[in-house]
Amino acid sequence: MACPRNPVEPVDKRAAADLVAEDFWAGLRSWTDARIALGRAGVSQRTRDVLAFQLDHARARDAVHQVLDRKVAFGETEYLEVESRAPDRAVFLRRPDLGRLLTPESEAMLAARAGSGFDVAFTVSAGLSSTAVEKNFTPFWQEFAPLLEGLGLRAAPPCFVEQGRVALGDRVALAFGARMAVVLIGERPGLSSPDSMGIYMTYGPKSDTTDEARNCISNIRPAGLGYAEAARTLCALMREAFRRKVSGVDLKVDDALALAPGPEAGKLAG
C-alpha cells in the first residue's frame, strides 16, 4: 500500500517571508552600504537585490561617462579651464598617460599668469566620476576656503580639467611656479559609492613625482568623510607640509591632525 503524500501548500499562498532565507548576520546591513547578508530565495538571490545591483552598476557607469555640468559643480566659484592631452573620454580611459600631461597651450596660459609665483595650485578634475565633483566640490570648497585664508598662503586661481589624472596637478603647479599641488578629483566609482571625491596633496611637485610623495584624503561625500572634517584635514596637512617641507609617506595624517589646534579649524594657521 502506497504511503499518502503530505499536502503541499501552493507557492502563491505562502507568505513572502516564508520564501526567503535570511542570513543570521543580516542586522549588520544597517551599518554599511556593502552587499552583505543578502539572504536568498531558494537557491538564488532575491529579485530586489539583483535589481539594486543593476541600478548601482548603471550609476557607476554614468559617473564615469557623463559630461560634468560646470555650473552645478562650481556655482559662483571662478576657475580657469585647462586641457590635458587626452582629447576625449574614450582616449582618457585608454591612455592614462595622456591625462597626466597638459597641452602646450594650457601650459603656456598658466605660465603667463605665474607672476612672482604661488604657494599652492589647486586643480579640479572630473577624473573617473563627474558625479563626485558635481555633488561635492562646492560644499567642500565652502568649508575649505575660509581655512585657506587663515593659512596665509598665496593660492593660484583654481583650474579645472575634464580629462585629467592626479599627476596633472603637478604640471599645473609647475606652470604656475607653485610649491604645492592639490588635486580634487572624482574617484573610481564603487557600486555603493559613485559620488566619492578624493584630494591629493603634493609638496614640491616635479614632472616625475610618484604616488608615494602624495597625501590622499579619500571618500569625501555625504555618506563618507564630511566636508568640514575633510577641509580641516587638508589644512592640517598643508600647514605641516610647508613646515616640514615634505609630503606623502614622510607626512602622516594623524601627526598633522595631532598638531592642529582641535576642532576650531579657523585656528589652523597657528
Amino acid in the structure at residue 204: G
Cell (9 digits) for 241: 607640509
d(CA 233, CA 217): 8
The whole-model pTM stands at 0.83
Task: Output phi, psi for 236, to 5 deg.
Answer: -60, -45
Q: How does pLDDT run along the chain (270 residues), one tens digit per residue?
A: 555 555 555 555 555 556 778 877 888 878 887 888 888 888 888 888 889 889 988 988 988 888 999 999 999 999 999 999 999 999 999 999 999 999 999 999 999 998 777 999 999 999 999 999 999 999 999 999 999 999 999 999 999 999 999 999 999 999 999 999 999 999 998 888 899 999 999 999 999 999 999 999 999 999 899 999 999 999 999 999 999 999 999 998 887 777 665 444 334 433
Relative to beta strand 20-21, strand 80-81 is unpaired
d(CA 237, CA 38): 40
Task: Output phi, psi for 70, to 5 deg.
Answer: -65, -35
